Amino acid sequence: MSETEVFEGGCLCGEVRYRITGPVSQAAHCHCNMCRRASGAPVVTWVSVKMADVSWSKGAPAVYPSSEGCERAFCAECGSQLTFHTDRYPDDIDITVGSLDRPEFFEPASHVWTSSALPWICLDEHLPMHEESTPGFE
């Protein structure tokens, strides 16, 4: 990902839009229970960016404190999950790859929280597997 490239994304209904103007990490599939509940999907795929490089270009998300020191932002209108932030990495914010306009550009490079993975999920088994979080991905 080039550092000068700008990536944009937003929710299902289009009321909330964001813009990323800095480097984007490699994507990771998260298998944790909280991502699963929040999204209703078996796995949520994330990229991590610097907080300072993300701005809301349209509307503003609602925020849910999903656990101690953690916040999940989503569209209050349509419910799309957009970001995850934890006080453990205050300068970073995770963005759902599925909300990006060009998700095909963000090929996942790892799995996190495989200790919570559903037994019937079979995704990219050649990628590194982490039983819990790795820095930058809760």
DSSP class of residue 113 equals -
Return the SS3 of 91. coil
Instruction: Name which of 7 and 84 has its Cβ closer to Zn ion.
Output: 84
* 71 contributes a contact to Zn ion by CB under 5 A: no
* 28 contributes a contact to Zn ion by CB under 5 A: no
Which of 20, 24, 27, 35 is the binder for Zn ion (CB under 5 A)? 35
Amino acid at 138: E
Instruction: Using the rule CB under 5 A, give the single segment among 7-15, 18-26, 96-104, 114-122 that binds Zn ion.
Output: 7-15
C-alpha span between 112 and 110 (Å, rounded): 7
CB of 3 to Zn ion, least distance (A): 26
* 13 contributes a contact to Zn ion by CB under 5 A: yes
Return the SS3 of 69. coil
* 32 contributes a contact to Zn ion by CB under 5 A: yes
Q: Which of 45, 42, 46 is nearest to 121 (CA)?
A: 42
